[in-house]
């Protein structure tokens, strides 16, 4: 038995701190490890040597600010993780290793709303095919992250509402996929996974507090507080789509009037352009026309940005995030939407909170959620497992 506070338990705790920092970041220099763990440079150096010798991490030469440095990552062949992302009209799967390298990735169009079992059949086949393409044994799969486009109870794995996924009634998505693949599955909604994806791989790298805003059929925010997803006890944190902007506005599906969603979600926004642009418009098409200079589309995109900004301003006052990452199709509009978001934030948020905030487009596009599913497995995986596992040193590098 180790006594808390003893030399050996302190050493073990330091090992876990270093492994955790590296696991969450993908790769870090020794100086970055020292900064993020608060350990001294000498302690980090000793611990990294020990972890390298027992095969938990791999160390490769790199340069940091023009100086020679050593990049530390978890061993690439210690195991693989799988991300599965269901959207309303697509299925995307990615396979990655513990060094945060994406080894294989593929997306297929699919009508997920129609039939859940068909969706899971396709997911099972695609996972098998992609894992096989990496040449790594399926037995090396340590865990699977699953993203669904709606509210989900992370603890039980059940859907909060089947109104959003009509064909999924009575299904526990986590259990379903776990039974099929024979490995532990962790599940979360698309906004939270988008946040995690951008935090680890994209527009949120380097910050600890961010909000990922996704506008599609609804509007949601994935909230990262101090490096971790904040879900709240019922898993509904981040439902900014139902902030009231106009109490005598249009009736929302939640029963209230004038929610943010009724000013920003696709079915309301496209309706504004129906008279002038006809029936066939989609959000990607509207964004494309806006970028090409279409005045009506530019106006509507700007208005959507202004309204999102009002929601972001509230978020800013409550949580004071350092970064807001806009995901989804709308992010492709760039400054046409980001400028109005920033204007609203500076108008409606407390100046001290607004000053510290940067509003950026997502860097991962449609990949954010599936990479977030990979990051979910990587972030929830216990470091003890890694430290006690039988792992070997292999090839280096970071790539997404």
N- to C-terminal Cα distance for the chain? 42
Q: Is 307 in the site for Zn ion (CB under 5 A)?
A: no
When the beta carbons of 259 and 400 are compared against Zn ion, the nearer one is 259
Stretch that binds Zn ion, among 150-158, 251-259, 324-332, 371-379 (CB under 5 A): 251-259
Closest residue by Cα to residue 345 from 356, 361, 329: 356
What is the rounded CA–CA span in Å between residue 242 and residue 321? 20
Residue 342 found at the interface with Zn ion (CB under 5 A): no
CB of 327 to Zn ion, least distance (A): 20
Tokens describing residue 337: 């939407």
Residue 265 near Zn ion by CB under 5 A: no
Q: Binding of Zn ion at residue 187 (CB under 5 A)?
A: no
Stretch that binds Zn ion, among 40-48, 63-71, 242-250, 291-299 (CB under 5 A): 242-250
| Distance of alpha carbon 257 from alpha carbon 248, whole angstroms | 6
Q: Contact region for Zn ion (CB under 5 A) — 41-49, 140-148, 207-215, 237-245?
A: 237-245
242 forms part of the interface with Zn ion (CB under 5 A): yes
- Among 254, 335, 350, 382, the residue binding Zn ion under the rule CB under 5 A is 254
| Sheet with 27-29, edge to edge strand ranges | 27-29, 67-74, 57-64
Per CB under 5 A, which region of 16-24, 204-212, 246-254, 382-390 contacts Zn ion? 246-254
- Cα→Cα distances 130→82, 84, 140, 366, 381, Å: 9, 11, 13, 18, 22
Closest contact distance (angstroms) between CB of 219 and Zn ion is 9
| Least Cβ distance, residue 254 to Zn ion (angstroms) | 3
Instruction: Please pick, from the candidates 259, 265, 330, 368, the single residue that binds Zn ion as defined by CB under 5 A.
Output: 259
Minimum distance from CB of 363 to Zn ion (Å)? 30
Residue in 72, 181, 252, 300 binding Zn ion, rule: CB under 5 A: 252
Determine contact, residues 120/179, Cβ cutoff 8 Å.
no
Q: Which stretch binds Zn ion (CB under 5 A): 3-11, 21-29, 254-262, 378-386?
A: 254-262
Number of Cβ within a 10 Å radius of residue 205: 14
Q: How far is the CB of 245 from Zn ion (least distance, A)?
A: 10
80 vs 252, beta carbon nearer Zn ion: 252
**Least distance between Zn ion and beta carbon 252 (Å):** 3
- Count of CA atoms in the C-beta half-sphere (13 A) of 208: 4
Least gap, CB of 382 to Zn ion (angstroms): 38
* Residue 256 binds Zn ion (CB under 5 A): yes
| Shortest Å, Cβ 262 to Zn ion | 7
- CA 152-192-178 angle, to 5 degrees, is 50
Query: What H or E segment, with its residue span, contains residue 175?
Result: helix 173-181
Nearer to Zn ion, 134 or 256 (CB): 256
The minimum distance between CB 259 and Zn ion, in angstroms, equals 3
Q: Indicate the residue among 143 and 309 with the shorter CB distance to Zn ion.
A: 309
Total residues in contact with Zn ion, by rule CB under 5 A: 5
Which range touches Zn ion (CB under 5 A), out of 104-112, 241-249, 282-290, 355-363?
241-249
Distance CA 229, CA 97 (A): 21
Residue 28, C-beta contacts closer than 8 angstroms, at least 6 positions apart: 21, 22, 36, 71, 72, 73
Helices 335-348 + 295-319 axis angle, to 10: 40
Whichever of 262 and 379 has its CB closer to Zn ion, that residue is: 262
Neighbouring C-beta atoms of residue 384, cutoff 10 Å: 12
Which helix (H) or strand (E) segment is 369 a member of?
helix 368-380
What distance in Å separates the CA atoms of residue 185 and residue 104, rounded to the nearest whole number?
19
- What does the binding site for Zn ion look like in residue numbers (CB under 5 A)? 242, 252, 254, 256, 259
């Amino acid at each position: 038995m180790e006594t808390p506070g003893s030399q050996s338990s302190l050493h073990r705790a330091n090992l876990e701190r270093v492994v955790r920092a590296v696991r969450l970041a993908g790769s870090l220099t020794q100086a970055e490890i020292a900064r993020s763990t608060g350990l001294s440079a000498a302690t980090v150096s000793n611990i990294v040597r020990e972890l390298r010798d027992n095969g938990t991490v791999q160390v490769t030469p790199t340069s940091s600010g023009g100086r020679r440095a050593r990049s530390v990552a978890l061993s690439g062949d210690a195991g693989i993780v799988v991300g599965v992302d269901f959207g309303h009209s697509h299925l995307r799967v990615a396979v990655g290793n513990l060094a945060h390298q994406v080894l294989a990735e593929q997306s297929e169009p699919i009508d997920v709303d129609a039939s859940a079992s068909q969706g899971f059949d396709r997911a099972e086949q695609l996972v098998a095919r992609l894992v096989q393409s990496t040449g790594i044994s399926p037995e090396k799969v340590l865990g699977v992250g699953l993203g669904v486009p709606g509210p989900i109870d992370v603890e039980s794995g059940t859907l909060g509402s089947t109104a959003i996924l009509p064909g999924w009634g009575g299904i526990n998505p986590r259990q379903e996929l776990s039974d099929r693949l024979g490995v532990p599955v962790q599940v979360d909604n698309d906004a939270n996974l988008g946040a995690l994806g951008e935090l680890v791989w994209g527009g949120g790298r380097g910050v600890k507090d961010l909000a990922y805003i996704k506008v599609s059929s609804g509007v949601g925010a994935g909230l990262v507080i101090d490096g971790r997803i904040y879900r709240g006890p019922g898993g509904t944190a981040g439902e900014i789509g139902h902030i009231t902007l106009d109490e005598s506005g249009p009736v929302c599906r939640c029963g209230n009037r004038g929610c943010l969603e009724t000013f920003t979600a696709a079915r309301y926004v496209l309706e504004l352009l129906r008279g002038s642009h006809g029936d066939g418009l989609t959000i990607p098409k509207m964004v494309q026309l806006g970028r090409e200079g279409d005045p009506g589309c530019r106006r509507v995109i700007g208005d959507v940005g202004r309204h999102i900004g009002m929601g972001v301003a509230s978020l800013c006052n409550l949580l004071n995030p350092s970064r807001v990452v806009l995901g989804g199709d709308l992010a492709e509009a760039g400054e046409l939407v980001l400028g109005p978001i920033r204007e609203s934030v500076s108008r409606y948020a407390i100046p001290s909170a607004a000053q510290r905030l940067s509003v950026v487009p997502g860097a991962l596009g449609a990949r954010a959620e599936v990479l977030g599913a990979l990051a979910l497995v990587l972030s929830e995986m216990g470091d003890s497992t890694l430290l006690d596992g039988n792992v070997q040193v292999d090839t280096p590098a970071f790539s997404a």
